[in-house]
């Protein structure tokens, strides 16, 4: 069975942010912003567990941002583009407390989305961009077919979750990781974890990490947190907060 992360956990909003946004950054986005959005599937150690599906986005020619929570005791993971091309990548920043991970691509990409440098305004219209999956052969990739795997014809409109900013907050998830976050009104769905939340200029305002089941309400870690992690890497290409559970599978004799 194919399992898509729906961002489970106990989210606590500590306080609304006191900062106010300004006009959107003046950044030229690629003609097709979806070309910067990647799909992720994670194969768990335990063969009885289901493969996990998530999203990611290129934030520079060699860096990809996503969430940390799918990478728990996993055997391997795959990043794939809208065309179904696989991308090799290595974790360079992994912070499960705020549910954020950065990966360095083995080969640079020509298409990426810029991070917003100022807070977004409450009430602003936003979109969550999710990866195309119609070009991916899940069976060939070793993923059992499921609701998404069976549906090879995914309409372009299904790749966008339209919404608006409710407020900027400071939040924790499961009692950990105080972070700057954005509360949004949008129909966040399974597999959207790690997808970029973009403004009207297709500039990244945040990375989706949580939602409420059967409710058009979700949260994204703010772009400022992503920029903080990227800045920490600027002087040290091997910097990281901690390591994910890659390669820690134990095979019985």
Domains located in the chain, CATH noted = 2-22+30-234 (2.40.10.120)
Phi-psi region of 145 (alpha: psi -120 to 50; beta: other; left: phi over 0): beta
User: What is the distance between the alpha carbons of residues 199 and 183, in angstroms, rounded to a whole number?
Assistant: 14
Six-digit token pair at 233? 């890497």
Q: Give mean pLDDT, residues 109-117.
A: 94
Mean pLDDT of 142-167: 62
Reported pTM: 0.81
User: 66 by DSSP, 3-state: which?
Assistant: strand
Alpha-carbon distance of 80 to 89, in angstroms, equals 11
Unique residue bearing structure tokens 């500039």: 203
Over residues 59-84, mean pLDDT: 89
Whether the predicted pLDDT of 75 surpasses 80: yes
Tokens 């097709």 -> residue: 32
User: In angstroms, rounded to a whole number, what is the distance separating the alpha carbons of residues 49 and 225?
Assistant: 31
β-pairing, 204-211 with 160-173?
unpaired
Distance of CA 221 to the CA centre of its chain: 10
Q: Sorting pLDDT into bands at 50, 70 and 90, what band is 190?
A: confident
């Amino acid at each position: 069975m194919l399992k898509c992360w729906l961002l489970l956990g106990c989210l606590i909003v500590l306080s609304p942010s006191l900062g106010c946004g300004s006009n959107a950054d003046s950044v030229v986005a690629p003609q097709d912003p979806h070309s910067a959005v990647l799909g992720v599937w994670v194969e768990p150690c335990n063969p009885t567990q289901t493969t996990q599906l998530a999203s990611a986005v290129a934030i520079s020619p060699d860096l990809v941002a996503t969430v940390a929570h799918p990478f728990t005791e996993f055997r391997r993971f795959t990043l794939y583009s809208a065309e179904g091309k696989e991308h090799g990548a290595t974790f360079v920043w992994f912070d499960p407390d705020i549910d954020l991970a950065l990966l360095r691509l083995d080969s640079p990409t020509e298409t990426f989305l810029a991070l917003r440098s100022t807070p977004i305004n409450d009430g602003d219209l936003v979109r969550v961009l999710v990866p195309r999956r119609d070009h991916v052969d899940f069976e060939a990739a070793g993923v059992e077919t499921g609701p998404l795997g069976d549906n090879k014809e995914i309409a372009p409109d299904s790749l966008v979750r339209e919404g608006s900013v409710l407020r900027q907050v400071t939040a924790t998830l499961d009692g950990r990781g105080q972070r700057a976050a954005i509360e949004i009104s949008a129909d966040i769905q399974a597999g959207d974890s790690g997808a970029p939340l973009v403004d009207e200029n297709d500039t990244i305002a945040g990375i989706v990490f949580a939602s409420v089941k059967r409710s058009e309400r979700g949260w994204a870690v703010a772009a400022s947190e992503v920029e903080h992690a990227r800045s920490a890497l600027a002087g040290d290409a091997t910097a990281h907060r901690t390591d994910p559970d890659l390669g820690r599978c134990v095979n019985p004799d």
